[in-house]
């Protein structure tokens, strides 16, 4: 049975490097999730592809919006949309 995954998570500080490596499948292995098949990485795509590395994309948008950022501010919302491919439909 096909299924979908929608995940939204507020991110406050630090760099977005770890999130980027995970989303872009830059790690060599994913021991925490055995369902990730690195052989199918080429099938992944972006709804809106970032023009820079995630960290620089976030910083750029904050600067353009002229937001005041506090230590406890939410800087971005990590969003993931995924699901199974059902080629028979």
pLDDT tens track for 23-77: 888 888 777 777 788 888 888 888 888 888 988 999 999 999 999 999 889 999 9
Nearest Cα neighbor of 26 from 14, 40, 41 is 41
**Residue-level pLDDT at 86:** 65
Residues 6+ positions from 76 with CB-CB distance below 8 Å: 11, 16, 58, 61
Which residues contact residue 38 at a Cβ distance below 8 angstroms, ignoring those fewer than 6 apart? 25, 29, 30
Flag whether the pTM goes above 0.75. no
Quote the pLDDT of residue 88: 54
- Whether pLDDT at 8 is above 70: yes
């Amino acid at each position: 049975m096909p299924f979908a995954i929608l995940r939204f998570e507020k991110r406050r500080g630090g760099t977005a490097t770890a999130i980027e490596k995970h989303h872009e499948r830059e790690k060599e292995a994913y021991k925490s999730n055995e369902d990730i098949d690195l052989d199918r990485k080429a099938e992944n795509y972006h709804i809106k592809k970032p023009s820079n590395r995630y960290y620089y994309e976030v910083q750029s948008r904050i600067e353009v919006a002229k937001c005041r950022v506090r230590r406890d501010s939410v800087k971005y919302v990590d969003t993931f949309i995924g699901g199974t491919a059902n080629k028979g439909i």
